[in-house]
Amino acid sequence: MKAIVVRQTGAPDVMRLETVPDPQPAAGQVLVRVRAAGVNPVDTYIRSGAYARAAGLPYTPGLDAAGTVEAVGAGVTAFKAGDRVYTAGALTGAYAELALCEAGQVHRLPDACSFGQGAALGVPYATAYRALFHKGRAVAGRTVLVHGASGGVGTAAVQLARAAGLRVFGTAGSEAGRKLVAAQGAHEVLDHRDPEYLKRLMELTGGRGVDLILEMLANVNLAKDLTVLAQFGRVVVIGNRGTIEINPRDTMMRDATILGMTLFNVSPAELASIHEALFAGLENGTLRPVVGKELPLAEAPRAHEDVLKAGALGKIVLVP
């Protein structure tokens, strides 16, 4: 099969399209024919060699894919050849024509969902769900600011929060991004490049602030977030690319909570529950993953450059 292979960590061009042996499913494993692979920022951190979780070399990048089941190993009864599925994690990497997975990493893909949409689920939707409901304790009637709502995690968070009955504020840095965020169901959309946008947020909440903030760029926003939180408010740090100085006093009168998270810490049982919830939302149409760009597999280096640029409009996927 053709697969992207990384033989040494470094710049995007360390990713090369190679011909490698087809993987074979052992007991408890599922082999997926990949029709689309999702490109996540974390794939770029791992490829660069700078991430806390190093990959063994050589390796094929990618956690998220969608396609059809090619074959199953002994003991796998939940899937059969031909089933439409998406993956959340893969033993051999998703940037390939075939991806070998543990059965628990594979989930049913509703007929209404395209393969591109399926490749947008694993990391972004599971992260948004985890942040909103497990860490953020979101409940209907409360307010949430999705701080960076135009990308993979943000669009998912807006759809999930809206479907759960929250009042949703979302931000984007471009006109196209703001239109996209509004289309996902945000009640109010703000421009995180406008110096006055958090003042506007306070006006829109009658001076109260928001109950929950899902933060995609904490090194830029965390100090400001603490000033627009309501009493007992929570900030969930999803994304961060540097350091920041905060005033801890801003947490005190509000009894505020700052929570970090990584999807890698979610237990298998919690993940299984999250993906059941995602399936329900995909099936009833409240969750509609947004594919911003489709590129051929060989263009993985370009995809890694693009996914770190501003102006995200949903998900970048690679098509083998």
Backbone torsions φ then ψ of 290, nearest 5 degrees: -105, 120
Half-sphere exposure of 43 (CA within 13 A, CB side): 37
Closer of 227 and 262 to ligand NAP (Cβ): 262
Task: In whole angstroms, give the CA distance from residue 2 to residue 16.
Answer: 10
Smallest separation (angstroms) from ligand NAP to the CB of 23: 26
Q: Which residues contact 286 (CB under 8 A, 6 or more apart)?
A: 159, 162, 163
Q: Which of 235, 232, 238 is nearest to 224 (CA)?
A: 235
Smallest separation (angstroms) from ligand NAP to the CB of 277: 17
Smallest separation (angstroms) from ligand NAP to the CB of 241: 6
Side chain identity at residue 283, one-letter code: E
Closer of 23 and 136 to ligand NAP (Cβ): 136
Stretch that binds ligand NAP, among 10-18, 21-29, 98-106, 215-223 (CB under 6 A): 215-223
Stretch that binds ligand NAP, among 12-20, 39-47, 95-103, 206-214 (CB under 6 A): 39-47
The 10 Å Cβ neighbour count of residue 145 is 31
Chain positions 136 to 195 lying near ligand NAP, rule: CB under 6 A, are 147-154, 171-174, 177, 192
Chain positions 248 to 277 lying near ligand NAP, rule: CB under 6 A, are 261-263
**Radius of gyration from C-alpha coordinates of the chain:** 20
Smallest separation (angstroms) from ligand NAP to the CB of 163: 18
Task: In whole angstroms, give the CA distance from residue 223 to residue 187.
Answer: 24
Task: In whole angstroms, give the CA distance from residue 17 to residue 310.
Answer: 26
Stretch that binds ligand NAP, among 4-12, 16-24, 73-81, 212-220 (CB under 6 A): 212-220
221 binds ligand NAP (CB under 6 A): yes
| Window 47-86: contact mask with ligand NAP (x via CB under 6 A) | ----------------------------------------
Helix (H, G, I), strand (E, B) or coil at 315: strand
Q: Which of 151, 129, 149, 123 is nearest to 316 (CA)?
A: 151
What does the binding site for ligand NAP look like in residue numbers (CB under 6 A)? 40-42, 123-124, 127, 147-154, 171-174, 177, 192, 216-217, 220-221, 238-239, 261-263, 307, 310-312
